[in-house]
Amino acid sequence: MWSRSRYTRGAGSLRQRLGIVLRWPIGLALVTWRYLWRVTPVYRHEEEGGAPADLPPPLPDGTDHRDVQGLADGYGPLLHRCYAVRVTDPRLGPEQVIRQLAADPNSAAPEDAAVFVKSRAAEGGAGPAGEMAVDDEYVVRMPGPWDGPVRVVHRTPTSFRFVTLRGHLEAGEIEFRARCEGADLVFEIESWARPGDRVSHLLYNKLLLAKEIQLNLWTETCLGVVRNSGGTLSGGVRVHTLRVADPLAE
């Protein structure tokens, strides 16, 4: 059994964040390169939010709360974002798409921008590789601000959801899911997250670097799922963002 990873705050955490920031030029260069050469249309829509549905879903009963970095641990506004693609003539169904992505998140994520590493397997789980299970933990290694630990808190045949852990530069949750609409396959990534601290808030909401790197990562992941499905993208990638200025307001 693997030992539990520990993520600490304080000076060590700050040094780790500064080290990540020093790698940002590489990540930004990758984002710029993809933006300049991407021929796939990406339709972006952003507006003010604030409805209850814009907040992260409650963690399921029985969730391990140790080291969780939830909404109250973050700083600044929350972004509720949904990335969606529609696939015509897919060779894979929703369960097959999610099974493949859960077994190897790197099968769709852009390798030069993000690598998912399983850092802890749930008790009785599949170990370093193989099927994803609730309580598995991963670290997303990126040359940018989204390098950080997450834990699986929900898993169904057609979806899985992560929560951020202490030391992540975000505080929130993200869900990956697939479904059929008629003969088409629809794949979505939905996130509810705010910066994990003041430094992240500055670089995310003021300088917009982190925001664009995140958008590029999940857009490319959506396109990777389209390729893996064996079908054809229909209508480009759609990104809808709802900004909640005060997510902790009663």
| 48 within some domain | yes
| 154 within some domain | yes
- On the question of pLDDT at 171 being above 80, the answer is yes
State the chain's mean pLDDT as an integer: 82
Looking at residue 244, what is its pLDDT?
Answer: 92
Phi-psi region of 69 (alpha: psi -120 to 50; beta: other; left: phi over 0): beta
Q: Which residue has the higher pLDDT, 215 or 156?
A: 156
Q: Do residues 174 and 161 make contact, with C-beta atoms less than 8 angstroms apart?
A: yes
Q: Do residues 234 and 88 make contact, with C-beta atoms less than 8 angstroms apart?
A: yes
Least confident of 4-8, 30-34, 35-39, 223-227: 4-8
Q: Do residues 166 and 8 make contact, with C-beta atoms less than 8 angstroms apart?
A: yes
| 85 within some domain | yes
> How far is C-alpha 183 from the chain's CA centre?
27
Least confident of 7-11, 52-56, 78-82, 211-215: 7-11
Q: Which residue has the higher pLDDT, 203 or 219?
A: 219
Looking at residue 1, what is its pLDDT?
Answer: 34
Instruction: Name the residue among 237, 239, 240, 221 with its Cα closest to residue 229.
Output: 221
| 236 within some domain | yes
| 199 within some domain | yes
Q: Do residues 83 and 219 make contact, with C-beta atoms less than 8 angstroms apart?
A: yes
| 5 within some domain | no
CA distance 137 to 139: 7
Domain that holds residue 185: 11-244
pLDDT tens figures, 96-124 = 999 999 999 989 987 766 788 898 888 76
Helix, strand and coil percent figures for the chain, each rounded to 5:
30, 35, 35
The count of structural domains within the chain is 1
Q: Which residue has the tokens 């969730």?
A: 63
Domain at 210, CATH number: 3.30.530.20
Q: What mean pLDDT is predicted for residues 154-168?
A: 95
| 90 within some domain | yes
| 250 within some domain | no
